[in-house]
Amino acid sequence: MEALAVRLSGLDPYVDGAIRIIAFYDTLMRRRLDLPALARASAGLAECVTGIRLHDSGRATRFTADGRQASAPPSPVSTTVPIILDEEEIGTVWLERPGPPNPLDEVLLDRLAIATAAAVERYGPARTTMADPALVELAVGPDGDEVTRARALRLLGFAAELPVHVAAVRSHLPLDQIGGLICPARPVKAAPLADVGVILATAIDPARFPAGVRAGIGAAGSPGRSWREARTALRFTSPRAPVVHYPDLGALALLAEIPPDVSRDNTDVAAIARIADSPEHMETLDAYCASGSLRRAADLLHLHHSSVARRLEHIAKTLDIELTESTGLIRVKLALTAWRLLQE
């Protein structure tokens, strides 16, 4: 390999410089330098101010070419490169070079970004949101003992005294983006488990989930129990209620314990299945159940109340349930919820 490098360097001065930069950072990584030492060494090599910033802290580490910590206001950035760890951008490195960039600046910053990611991972816990799915499964799974669970949580960066909430998420958005939104103060970790995303955080703000995300949130406490609760709550989500907190379900959570065959055989649930192919009927019934009032349902649907009344009359005949009576409304709410749980 060294002989090949020598031959290549003889062909092209750029290649020679790039190889020397790579060798320089290989040496730094073997010496296990921390971030300030990496920034100082890089500034000396680049002969200009060099900076490192991690997104989670927001603080910049900047050194001048003579090895001093930069105190002057930052100059315009000439070149910047993201720091990537576990396929997630965790920060940036940059040069504040006066005048045009050096042809080798990008090579230098690429290697500095790699060295910084390695240092962050080494002196962790890693500042990424995404985590090893196997480690997350140890933290929330039903089979592990409490010692194993506690160790997994510690490796994920959660202190023993901190409460941990677990959220079960379905979304097309990246899990790290969702985690950063719902718990900006950190710590927060996420990983895909089977067909569901799991997010662990010390605090979760349900109002910060972005549009289009379905999420169930378990109560704080045992991560194993919170994960079970979160998955149950996820089953109760709907377009009108995309985020459900398990404690808010109360006795409704008992519906999730009913065997599917028992629910399917129920007369009211079977009646809901008969109108499920009509989006108009399902939307009208959902609005009526959510509001409990014909006029409020009309407001939700942006329709005249007489139009909603005609729809509800037809739905009531199909279901054979008197929707205007309190008992009928309770029956159809339970039946609609049970039918939705069967679709999960």
Alpha-carbon distances, residue 2 vs 9, 11, 28, 339 (angstroms): 10, 15, 19, 67
pLDDT given at position 203: 86
Q: 180-229: per-residue pLDDT in tens?
A: 889 877 688 999 988 899 999 988 989 999 999 999 999 988 899 999 99
pLDDT given at position 333: 92
CA torsion angle 226 228 231 235 (round to 10): -120
Q: Is the pTM of this model over 0.75?
A: no
CATH fold of 258-342, please? Answer: Arc Repressor Mutant, subunit A (1.10.10)
Characterize the bridge pairing of strands 243-245 and 214-217.
parallel
Is the preceding peptide bond at 187 cis, omega within 30 degrees of 0?
A: yes
Q: 49-71: per-residue pLDDT in tens?
A: 999 998 877 788 999 999 999 98
Residues with pLDDT less than 70, the chain: 1-13, 123-127, 186
DSSP 51-81: EEEETTT--EEEE-TTSPBP-SPPPPPSEEE
User: What are the structural domain ranges in the chain?
Assistant: 2-122, 133-254, 258-342
Q: 310-324: per-residue pLDDT in tens?
A: 998 989 898 999 988
Rounded to 5 degrees, what are φ and ψ at 67?
90, 5
Count helices and strands in the chain by DSSP H and E runs: 15, 9
| CATH of region 2-122 | 3.30.450
Rounded to 5 degrees, what are φ and ψ at 7?
-60, -45
**Residue 45 zone, left/alpha/beta (φ > 0; ψ -120 to 50; rest):** alpha
Residues with Cβ < 8 Å from 283, sequence gap 6 or more?
301
